[in-house]
Amino acid sequence: MFVGSERRFNRDSLRIGVSGLGMDDTDRQIVSLMRENARRSFQDIGKNVGLSAPAVKRRVDRLEDDGVIRGYTTVIDPHAAGWHAEAFVDLYCEGDMSGEAIKRVVEDEPRVASAHTVAGEASAMLHVMAQDTKDLELALERIRNTEGISRTVTEVVLSTLFQR
């Protein structure tokens, strides 16, 4: 049993999602290693954090169940895939357009990699990937011509310094 200044905790109370206390240091190390390479074996992770492979698997299963790990994905090199133009687009909407309405308006545009509601003047921010500047321009025209969109402000990415 762990004793805090005002609370008593047992090992089960350290579970994510159940107690709201968050991950322990070992969980953070596991997540960090998996962010570097999600295909890393449980045995390799265990060597790095001082646990057996089955213990790592149990922790990863718990992190998945608790929603900390939401899934696994393939990271693609945009240039190798033929996407040589990238931009972040501030999207300004007419009236009081909800996040769900903005999603419906932009989710069918294949060049939009992600869309986010934001605080500030813009209604949303889009991450747009395109083959080249002409393809980017055509995507921006389609977005601007969508009902409910009043204007866009585009920042073209020159280089990516790092990405996690």
Q: What is the pLDDT of residue 135?
A: 97
- 163 belongs to a structural domain: no
Per-residue pLDDT tens over the stretch 11-70: 443 443 443 357 899 999 999 999 999 999 999 999 999 999 999 999 999 999 999 999
Domain interval for residue 92: 85-156
- Based on the fold, state whether residues 104 and 144 are members of the same structural domain: yes
The whole-number average pLDDT for the span 87-93 is 97
31 in Cβ contact with 11 (< 8 Å):
no
Backbone angles phi, psi at 146, to 5 degrees: -80, 135
pTM value?
A: 0.69
Tokens of 80: 């190798």
- 76 belongs to a structural domain: no
The whole-number average pLDDT for the span 86-96 is 94
- 147 belongs to a structural domain: yes
- 72 belongs to a structural domain: no
Q: Any idea what the CATH number is for the domain that residue 30 is in?
A: 1.10.10.10
- Based on the fold, state whether residues 61 and 93 are members of the same structural domain: no
Q: What is the pLDDT of residue 16?
A: 39
Q: Any idea what the CATH number is for the domain that residue 89 is in?
A: 3.30.70.920
Cα separation, 49 vs 44, in Å, equals 9
Q: What is the pLDDT of residue 77?
A: 87
- Based on the fold, state whether residues 44 and 100 are members of the same structural domain: no
- 37 belongs to a structural domain: yes
Look at residue 109 and tell me whether its pLDDT is greater than 50: yes
Number of domains in the chain: 2
Per-residue pLDDT tens over the stretch 63-89: 999 999 999 988 888 889 999 999 999
Judged on CB neighbours under 10 Å (0-12, 13-18, 19+), 20 is exposed
